[in-house]
Amino acid sequence: MARIYAPTSPEVSRRETQNMEIVRRIAAEGMVLLENNGILPLKADGRALAVYGNGVRHMVKGGTGSGDVNSRTVVNIEQGLEDTGFTISTKDWLDRFDAACTENGAQYMAQFQAVLQEKGWEGVNWALENPFRDPDVPVIIPEDMNGTQKDLALYVIARTSGEGADRKLSGGDYELSEREMENLKVLTANYDHTVVILNVGGVIDTKFLREQKGIDAILLMSQPGCAGGLSAADVLTGKVTPGGHLTTTWAQNYSDYPCADSFSYLSGNLDDYVYREGIYVGYRYFDSFNIQPAYPFGFGRTYTDFDLNVVRTQIHGEEIQVSVCVKNIGDQYSGREVVQVYVSQPQGKLDKPYQVLAGFAATGELKPGQEETVTVVFSLRDLASYDEEQAAYLLEKGSYYVRVGTHSRDTHIAAVLELDETIVTQQLQNKVRPDIEINVLHAQPENFYSYLSEKAEKAAAPKLEIIPSTIPTRTADYTVKSEELHTDRADTVTLADVLNGKASLDDLTAQLSVPELAALTVGASRGGFGGISTVGAASNSVPGAAGDTNSDLAESRGITNVVLADGPAGLRLSKSFVSDGQGNVIPGLGESAFGNLFDLLGVPQAERPENAVDHYQYCTAIPIATLLAQTWNPAAIEEAGDLVGAEMEELGVTLWLAPGMNIHRNPLCGRNFEYYSEDPLVSGVCAAADTRGVQRHPGRGTTIKHFALNNQEDNRAHSNSHCTERALREIYLKGFEIAIRTSQPLSLMTSYNLVNGIHAANHPELLTDILRCEWGFRGLVMTDWGTTEARDGFKYGCSNAALCVKAGNDLTMPGSQEDVDAIIGAVGKELTLAQLQRCAGRVLEMVLLRAQTEQK
């Protein structure tokens, strides 16, 4: 019988109340003010507000799919404004939109039910690929505006997206719908001022908003979690001064992005994705090809003004320190600023972008007239570029210009670092060569973005000399132990023996048979990804969790399960469930993490026994990863991780299947909201902060994902991502490397796709040579759910469970009997016993960690 952790009281807990306040504060910190002509902040004077738009009541707290979280309470925009003291004078229009949503929802559910009846569990994939979206908004007519105060209108634009499908380059998604533009024209013609609030998880086309006269402010509230309406109200009224900065470039036109035509479905080829832009992603591209963005990387306005003064730039061996004094020179509002340090590398054998982010630091809250000196520290090693010919990272000789600013188009030169000879900082081996020829994009320095004073700044910059001897070459060791484990123990070793110091984990692993070892490297499900038990009822102790490790050896060896839970924006669990008097969970009773899905599938509902006990798992929906990153504040992100870690501890979850940290390669990726940034440094720093917060709690860990090149959702399970090794290492793997080196997450999840012709889950060079030998990763590697599930009709097939083990992918999820059989059948052929023991041993390490935590 599994231990049940969830409380039995339905009352709002102290933890829920405290966490709502934390989320409210962090979300407000990450909201970005894009435009403001002085209309904001609003006076919280209890006035009546005219508020329109699809996000007023139907605010999107976070994306769909595994990124969703089932909170008890979600405070929308209407509620947040009313809680602040305003009244809403446009409820009739909002009621009309509610009615349209209800009708549209009923039609969608009828269609979904028909698909389920036809396809069974496979119909769930249809829902992922065709998520429910609210209908277009009603036209705003004169009667809607009657009786409203005509000095101000608010308009909330909401967008949703999620796993399984990329966004559409059309109205109502990336672009505004015709109805939205018509309504905004009506508002700007009838109200003195209009404020637009963007409740979106990623970039949208803002051309109309920037050009339409009468739109006087644009606030990117993003998707802020369960207290989002309160957070937005705090920023709108100046209770919180906006201090968020973008972590992705917002283009003037979609066509400005380097992979605009070749991304996902727009290429006409969902089988092969070719990363022709190479290293020129995001601001690296816009700056290097002198394309003016609508809103640059790192951009954000506030209600006050700041002055930045570089105090000093110092070099200590391979470490650079840039100290900057930041002063609030406004006279009314407090605020915080983000100091961003970029470096322009010298052109040489390898072409380089105009500049790359080297480090950043946020100030505290500064009152008018107050100042603070922050120091940004980074390593010269981080400025090295990967040379595929030498299979090495090079610091090429020349001038390295250090730039300081508050966004990528606001940087000025503070110093120049001079290097007289090229240094090999790391000697590696090429491990992820492309499987096709790729004609990558190259930039020419004469076409770089520039500004009037740049040449003079270069001439006047103080010079610092880089001493090559202070940066010795590091050489990777790719040696992997290949010996089988043996033990001379004649008695049956149990996990309790290991816990009590009577035996080693190697003793336990060595005693296990091949079938037992194989079972440990496959998740607890034996029905595959299409089984009813796979999702929503995958855990016996934490209903709604994504899955468990295998516990078949619980009785004979004391090897219990580890619980894995979804939700990059919090824990996705069933809100409530029911157990019998003996502590056994009764499937089908309570409020599932997936609503009435099992009813729609025709799964019979169990009867409620007389001795039934109700349990409650209300979790906190934190802001999406992009909003967290927009704080540029690792301490705030660590606090969000700490919040999740505490809920994991309370509810019995060991591994959180988050954070997602793929790069924002293109704004149409359906899961960009789950990811931090277009920049690998920002992504790595944020994921490390999240991990530190979660792993403050003993026995709880993060699962950084999706490793690697999972930058689109359409046909994600059967696509092949083709990328140069340089771009892979400098852009798409770098964030993972930073997170691992600085926070050592307990686990990592591989992606569905192929990487240069090899499934990520079957890629030994990625999962062993780079991940473990180069970076020193010590944790567990697992697959994404169903990566070994065979499907017909695709150019590229599925991954193989035996090859997962061979590659160093320790755990195949959610598991099937076919996976177990494949592994058993491969031992002594393409798979060695030692390889199987290593993977099973890492699963056992996670089980042991959980057991040690329970023991305490």
Catalytic residues: 784
The H-assigned helical ranges of 312-468 are 454-460
Its sign, for the CA torsion 406, 409, 411, 417, is positive
The two structure tokens encoding residue 430: 């090429």
Distance CA 274, CA 286 (A): 20
| CA 676/CA 687 separation, integer angstroms | 8
CA distance 725 to 66: 30
Which residue blocks in 325-475 are alpha helix, DSSP H?
454-460
DSSP 469: G
Enter the tokens of residue 426.
């790391």
Per-residue buried b or exposed e for 581-597, using 16+ beta carbons within 10 Å of the residue's own CB: eeeebbbbbbbbbbeeb
Q: How far is CA 285 from CA 348, 443, 670, in A?
A: 18, 8, 22
Burial (CB count within 10 angstroms: exposed 0-12, middle 13-18, buried 19+), residue 4? buried
Give the contacts of 452 (CB within 8 A, at least 6 positions apart). none
> What tokens appear for 527 in the block?
């029905």
Cβ-proximal residues to 109 (8 Å cutoff; 6+ apart), any chain:
none
Beta bridge partners of residue 398, listed in sequence order? 419
CB atoms within 10 A of CB 88: 20
Nearest-angstrom CA–CA distance, 245 and 681: 15
Instruction: Pick the closest to residue 275 from 846, 779, 712 (CA basis).
Output: 712
Residue count (the chain) = 856
* Collapsed DSSP state (helix, strand, coil) of residue 334: coil
- CA-CA distances (angstroms) from residue 247 to 183, 553, 705? 30, 46, 19
- Which residues partner with 272 through β-bridges? 720
H-run or E-run covering 740? helix 734-743
CA gap 390, 384 in Å, rounded: 13
Strand partners for 374 = 324
Q: Residue 376 pairs with which residues in a beta bridge?
A: 322
In degrees and rounded to multiples of 5, residue 35 shows phi and psi of -140, 150
